[in-house]
Structure 1
Amino acid sequence: MNEKRSEESGAARTGVRTRGGSLAPGSVVGDGRYRLLAQFGIDERAGAHLWRARDGQLRRDVALTLLVGDPADAESARMARRTLERAAHAAKFTHDGVARVLDVLSLGSGITSGEGLLGVVVTEWTKGTDLIDLVSEHPVAPLTAARMVQKLAEAVERAHHAGLVLGLDHPQRLRLTSEGTLRLAFPGPLPEATLRDDVKAIGAVLYLLLTGRWALPGGPAAIPAAPHAPNGRLVPPRSLQPSVPTELSSLAVRTIEDGGHGGIRTSAAILRALELAAEAEERTQLINSQGPKPDEDGTIWTTKKPVKDRARRRKLALGVTVLVVAAVGILAWLGMLAISFFQDSPNSGGPAINVAAPTTTAAPPPASTQPPAPSTPPGQAQLGAAVAPGGIAVYNPDGDGDNTSRAKNTIDGDPGTIWRTDQYNQQFPTIKKGVGLIANFDNPINLAKVTIAANSPGTVVEIRLADSEDPQLSDTRVVGNATLNGPTTDITLPQPQQARYVIVWITQLSKSGSKYQSQIGELTFVPAQ
């Protein structure tokens, strides 16, 4: 029933009239062998019309990718031939995440020029649900989305090892199987598609499942486009759906975007990251479903009555009794010492002191010939008074902000008010390169030292300088680094540096149990005199 509704909605969305005539349910193509049943989408970039059809000879349903175009157009014909060649190469590839190619028809070989077609890719039919229908009402739960995409990522990894490009960068080419995994139901990669395009497509599919929006160009009109920030960066899924875990949100963005050193560029990397993110989310859900819920201050509340254990109570009473007796004994001993110290005994007192005896005055030490020790080590700049920045914000090139509303706590003069990173299940840079705070000053300062008040032992930070308020990480430069250990950590620059934008960049988080999280209470910026 669901599949029937998907066919009807797909036909309503994508019904079209081709250059050579009308492709409508009931029409036949491929020398009359395939009867069209329902249309499921159009990939406008390739003129590819996606249909379910009936094979009249073998009496089975198949999926058809119809390449519509004018045979007289040499460029269109060339591009169609390239797509058909790629599809033919994929005929030997088998994986559950990709529909098997059964036949490839071209002009003069199964297709006549009067049909208005440049080629047809015939594949086995995939039972299941249309991807647009899946996300039309609401996004998919994060753990479910990760599991759905895993099978598709495995297929991409296997195909890339075989030197094949699958061409899954259009949501209407995919279907959700009855087993709950995604499958490329309409193969036929674009002529210019690359291995990188397949990897970006996995990220785009994950983004679609998490948000209901498509993040690559050329998507169908039935799906809203993913929003971008004023700086051109893709808005992370977590900003649209707060329930999305940080790891999955960052994974989707890093897979789609090309810039920076933290992008995921191979199918093997995204597959591993998907597995880790799915496992972490499963553990989180298990803990949330079984354990008592902690209050905001960390207190765990429970309605379970205490167990009545007589043996334990007896041991506790005995221990308290021993403690009381020992305390009384110690107090009695101290009292005896005090009495003997203050009583007037002829044997008590020290030796007689001759007050008339002359005293010898020690000669003063000779004046030192060494110069006084300098207040600042040689070669190091004299420090001036600390300068408060005009403002501070969370700096995150991957797009995900960690507790952005609390960044101001790090420059309010109170180390007790803190800013925390998000809590991560994996250490940097597995999911993201890092996260930090960027301070901006009204006028450039000659920065010599940064002091960090933080209770986050093991946190590794870099001091970076930037020329703008929202720079790429590759455009910043490192001028100092340290591992936080103790209430405060001073990071003194080898040489003072002129700067207006200073980034405190965290490259390694503090570990607590199986989680990773760091915090900063106060930042102090000290210039040279």
Structure 2
Amino acid sequence: MSSGPKLGNSPGANNASLVPGGVLGDGRYRLLAQSGADDRGAAQLWRARDGQLNRDVALTILVGDLSDIQAVARARRTTERAMHASSFTHPGVSRVIDVLTPGSGLRMEEGVLGVVVAEWTQGTDLMDLITEGPLPAGAATRLLEPLGAAIEGAHHAGLVLGADHPQRIRVTPDGRLRLAFPGARPEAIARDDVKGLGAILYLLLTGKWALPGGPSGVPVAPTGPDGAVLAPSTLQPYVPHELSSVAVRSLEDTSVGGIRTSAAILQVLDQIAEEEAQTALIAPISDDDDGDRAVWTTQKPLSGRGHRRKLMVSVALLAVATIAVIAWLGFQIVGFFSDEPTHNTGPTVVIGQSTSPGQSQAPTAPVPAGPIAPGAVGVYDVTNNPDNANRANRAVDSNPDTAWNTDSYFQPFPTLKPGIGLMASFAEPVKLASVTITSKSAGTVVEIRIAAAEDSPIDETKVIATATLSAGQTQIQLNDHDATQHVLVWITKLAGSGKDNQSEIGELVFTRAQ
């Protein structure tokens, strides 16, 4: 009698269940948790523990009835393809380290026709990445590029990976998609990998799966009257046309204009990434965001005619904002001198000060104390990968219900980044008394820093206050500092724990010192 896990009354059923704690491979591999199932290939996907080498592994377990000749032949073809793929190494694919078959001399558990053993991929499931909704186009592009490069390399080597099911893919801690459960179906061809790449892109952009045989519970991509899936840009208007088009065309029949190779997809991904890099210093325009905003990094400015043109637009926008602020200040000063003094109230521009009855007004206007709005605000990031750059202005839109938030990190700072922040720039040098932060992310730790320029390296900025945010409003009193035009709200610790580390800032209010 086998000591391994039983697969139910019908050993050949695709829905037969292995159980955590069971063992395979003569007791070498102990099952820990199931990651998914690919019913098209009668495969169950598990995380397991290699008792001999004391490490976690990924198991693609092929289930079926040993008396079913066709099922046995299909499982044999899958394991043969996996053995061929073991010679292929790429960061976008988990390396095959063992293959178990009924003829390998090992006792196979009932209902198990073969097992593909691969390195375990740390990180999180792909499906967990979209639980809160689709990803921005830039994030989807960065995630997908390593997997696309792996598929392209495998196809050049004459291999098919089988990257056409979302539960076979995991997200590494450094933000790359990786084929974590190798084991291509017997009938799979290179075109299926291309379709899979397009379907994963569609999933990241829309939260919907566009190929048959997807996991239960994942919304199916809607189709039009002709039966073709709707373009991502139809469901999410912010998706760039080129990216939307490549996702749809990769799913279509090549006889009607479908994309044939992963190289064509990679070309578009590279193009989107290049466009993002060129616009890293100016504010992207979207329908739901108003106002001027900029994105700053500590990277050297890129050269090129397109970049210079966009930089000139950014400078023009900042100049307009500066002129508006100066005009407002001029109006306030003129009003201060033109108003008749009374014995009841002092100048309204001097908040927190009062004038005694009968006391004459000072001949010069004092520096106003109180809230002061920055002329521009942008995401400051030392890795040239700013989080939600197009939402930075939500932190200063006087509406605490709208917020800028960081990405959700699987590991806390400083694993992937030393921090992330918002850089506020003022029209003229100011000395601040306090910064009030409205946030729902209790436990977030921030530093208030001043900088000589918006692109100053982080080690050249000066800390003038540190605080841990509570839910709601947190007022941070600032140490005495020189007047500055650039103030950085730098997040060094995110709220949350485990695989969900994220913070948001609903509103920033800067108060000028007297």
Shorter-chain TM-score category? 0.5 to 0.7
From 316, 322, 343, the counterpart of 1:304: 322
Shift of 1:168: 0.6
Alignment of 1:329-408 (within 5 A): none
Change (3 A) 1:241 1:192: same
The one-character-per-residue Cα deviations of 1:28-87 (angstroms, maximum 9, x if unpaired) are 011111000000000001110000000111111000000000010000000000000000
Q: Which residue of 2 aligns with 1:130?
A: 125
Shift of 1:228: 0.4
Alpha-carbon distance change, 65 to 110 in structure 1, aligned in 2, over 3 angstroms: farther
Find out whether 1:38 has 2:33 as its counterpart.
yes
Amino acid at match of 1:81: R
2:207 aligns with one of 195, 203, 212: 212
Residue 22 of structure 1 and its aligned partner are, at CA, apart by: 4.8
Q: Distance in 2 between matches of 1:253 and 1:112?
A: 45
The aligned residue for residue 196 of structure 2 is: 201
Q: What is the match of residue 240 of structure 2?
A: 245
CA contact 1:293–1:300 (8 Å) conserved in 2 = no
What is the CA distance between 1:251 and its match in structure 2? 1.2
Gaps of 5+ in 2: 1-5, 284-292, 295-309, 327-514
Whether 1:256 and 2:227 are equivalent positions in the alignment is: no
- The yes-or-no answer on 1:155 pairing with 2:150 is yes
SS in 1 for 2:321: coil
In the aligned structure 2, how far is the partner of 1:306 from the partner of 1:113? 77
Larger Cα Rg: Structure 1 or Structure 2?
1
Query: For residues 183-231 of structure 1, what are the alpha-carbon distances to aligned partners after superposition, in whole Å with 9 as ceiling and x for unaligned?
Result: 0000000001011111111111000000111101110012111110011
Inter-partner Cα distance in structure 2 for 1:40 and 1:234: 27
Rounded to whole Å, the distance in 2 between the matches of 1:263 and 1:18 is: 44
Equivalent in the alignment of 2:141: 146
One-letter amino acid of the structure 2 residue matched with residue 116 of structure 1: G
Residue among 252, 258, 262 paired with 1:267:
262
Counterpart residue type for residue 83 of structure 1:
T
Distance 2:104 2:266 in 1: 39
C-alpha deviation, 1:307, in angstroms: 13
Is 1:287 the counterpart of 2:282? The answer is yes
Percent identical among aligned pairs is 58
Name the counterpart of 2:231.
236
Instruction: Give the direction of change, closer, same or farther, for the CA distance of 1:18–1:94 in structure 2 (3 Å limit).
Output: farther
- Tell me the residue number matched to 1:86: 81
Matches of 1:16 and 1:280, distance apart in 2: 51
Distance in 2 between residues matched to 1:158 and 1:220, nearest whole Å: 27
User: How far apart, in 2, do the equivalents of 1:22 and 1:268 lie?
Assistant: 38
8 Å Cα contact 1:111-1:117 kept in structure 2: no
Deviation per CA, 1:214-266, whole angstroms, max 9, x where unpaired?
10111001211111001112100011111111111111111111155542211
Amino acid at match of 1:302: V
Q: How far apart are residue 155 of structure 1 and its match?
A: 0.3
How many angstroms does 1:269 deviate by?
1.5
Amino acid at match of 2:321: T
* Whole-angstrom distance in 1 between the partners of 2:323 and 2:33: 63
CA drift at 1:116: 1.2
Partner of 2:70: 75
Q: CA 1:109–1:259 in 2, change beyond 3 Å: closer, same or farther?
A: closer
- Between the aligned partners of 2:273 and 2:259, the Cα distance in structure 1 is 17
Cα shift readout 1:74-109 (whole Å, capped 9, x = no counterpart): 000000000000000001100000000000000132
Q: 1:180 aligns with which of 175, 188, 193?
A: 175
Q: Is the 8 A contact 2:25 2:108 kept in 1?
A: no
For residue 23 of structure 1, report the CA deviation from its aligned partner.
1.1
2:320 partner letter: T
**Paired residues of 2:152 and 2:262 also in contact (CA < 8 A):** yes
Provide structure 1 residue ranges, at least 5 long, that are not aligned to the other structure. Answer: 1-14, 309-529
Report the Cα offset of residue 19 of structure 1.
Answer: 3.7
Q: 1:54 aligns with which of 23, 45, 49?
A: 49
Change in Cα spacing, 1:16 to 1:173, as seen in structure 2 (3 Å) is farther
Quickly say closer, same or farther: Cα 1:22–1:48, change in 2 above 3 A. closer
1:65 to 2:83 alignment: no
CA distance in 1, matches of 2:213, 2:102: 27
Helix, strand or coil: the match of 1:67? strand
Offset at residue 303 of structure 1 (A): 2.5
Alpha-carbon deviation of 1:286?
3.9
Work out whether residues 19 and 68 of structure 1, in 8 Å CA contact, stay in contact via their aligned partners in 2.
no
Deviation at 1:272, TM superposition (A): 1.3
Aligned-partner residue type, residue 222 of structure 1: G
TM-score, normalisation: structure 1:
0.52
- Against the structure 1 CA distance between its residues 76 and 138, is the aligned structure 2 distance closer, same or farther, given a 3 Å change threshold? same
SS in 2 for 1:122: strand
Residue number in structure 2 paired with 1:402: none
CA distance in 1, matches of 2:204, 2:156: 26
SS in 2 for 1:147: helix
Alignment RMSD (CA, Å) = 2.7
Instruction: Specify the alignment match of 1:359 in structure 2.
Output: none
* 2:84 alignment partner, SS class: helix
